[in-house]
Structure 1
Amino acid sequence: MNIDFKIAQQFQLQFSGMEVDTVKTATQVRNFLKKDYKRLLRIAGVQDSFIKSPTISDDPQASSFGNGIEDKLVKKLYAQETLVCVSKSIRVLSHESQQILLGVYVDNRNVWEMCELIGCERAQYQNKKRKAENEFADAFETICLWWRDLHVYK
């Protein structure tokens, strides 16, 4: 890969010019993982445990005939690929952040269970969860290029 130093400098300036609102970004990620992620699972036709070890079957499935079959297949493929991006994004996070996001959004653990799992008090847990959600936004932004940026800037 050849580095274009003008573009690289513009990229670097983004870090000094725009400040991320970590609270609102965490809310965006929370909404994505609670709503969009669940809908993507349904569209893709996969189970919630998919995120832990993503495997998409290429086996042909019976499909109905009618208008929009191609559109439906494309929608399903994009949903599956977006779920792969979610999984990849989680895998690049710190171990603690992985535990938090999988525990909360996949295993549906409550706050008490999560505090026990990662060994902290409730107040600490809320900060750690927000950190995990912001880490996810950072990773997802560059792994899933077709999805909107989950960051909120001040």
Structure 2
Amino acid sequence: MELVPKVDAVQTYKNVSNFFKDDLEKIVLMSGSRMVDLSSPSFEENYGSSETNGIETKLINGLDAQNVVKSVHDALYHGVDPVSQRILIGLYIKRQRWIDIQPLVYREHTSFAAYRKRALLTFAYSFEGWQIKNHCDKVIRLLAYA
């Protein structure tokens, strides 16, 4: 019996990368936060604005943007290992170049790509779990199955 279905790693890498590049900033803005807030480990649970804004946010595309942003933060700070965390925050939140992040994780250029792939995959698993835990209206599925 297979407890966890086989993941299409290549498609999952693309899904996570596209989420960070194309969707995350829009969701962060809808939540009333800023991208720089995600790079801080002291991100507060009550980062959103008023209750009215929360209701309006839920109406936009049926997405609970504040809970999604909280889930991204939780996945980054409580769901992935420290090396993956540095890679993801550096590349996708702070928008640094590979060459700038590589010394922070003490990895050779040839192995950095493998660590980046591992970071994308672990984030996908963690993010899905945190969305469920944070009661997101719609779970954004980044994992692709073979």
TM class by shorter chain equals 0.7 to 0.9
Partner of 1:7: none
What does 1:103-118 align with in structure 2 at a 5 Å threshold? 103-118=90-105
Equivalent residues of 1:43, 1:75 under 8 A apart: no
How big is the alpha-carbon RMSD for the aligned residues of Structure 1 and Structure 2? Answer: 2.5
Structure 1 residues 89, 60: closer, same or farther in 2, change over 3 A? closer
Gaps of at least 5 residues in structure 2 are 133-137
What TM-score does the superposition give when structure 2 sets the normalisation length?
0.80
Percent identity over the alignment?
A: 22
Is the counterpart of residue 132 in structure 1 residue 119 in structure 2? yes
| Equivalent residue, structure 2, for 1:97 | 84
Number of equivalent positions: 135
In 2, are the aligned partners of 1:82 and 1:144 still within 8 Å (CA)? yes
Q: Does the CA-based 8 Å contact 1:93-1:135 persist in structure 2?
A: yes
Q: 4+ runs of 1 displaced by more than 3 Å?
A: 56-61
Contact kept in structure 2, 1:103 and 1:109, CA below 8 Å: yes
Instruction: Name the counterpart of 2:58.
Output: 74
Q: Is the 8 A contact 2:84 2:118 kept in 1?
A: yes
Q: Matched residue of 1:13: which SS? A: coil
Q: Structure 1 counterpart of 2:82, which letter?
A: H
Q: How far apart are the structure 1 equivalents of 2:3 and 2:91? A: 31
User: Which protein is bigger by CA-based radius of gyration?
Assistant: 1
Moved more, 73-82 or 136-145: 73-82
For residue 71 of structure 1, report the CA deviation from its aligned partner.
5.8
Unmatched runs of 5 consecutive residues or more in structure 1: 1-11, 64-68
**2 CA distance for matches of 1:79 and 1:70?**
8
Correspondent of 1:33 among 11, 17, 20: 20
Counterpart selection for 1:148 from 132, 135, 140: 140
Which shows bigger deviation, 96-105 or 45-54? Answer: 45-54
Q: Tell me how far 1:60 sits from its aligned partner.
A: 4.1
Q: Which residue of 1 aligns with 2:43?
A: 54
CA shift in 2, pair 1:58/1:140, >3 Å:
closer
Instruction: Decide whether the 8 Å contact of 1:97 with 1:132 is kept in 2.
Output: yes
Q: Summarize the Cα distance change of 1:34–1:75 in structure 2 as closer, same or farther, 3 Å threshold.
A: farther
3-state SS of the aligned residue for 1:134?
A: helix
Give, in whole Å, the separation in 2 of the partners of 1:147 and 1:153.
16
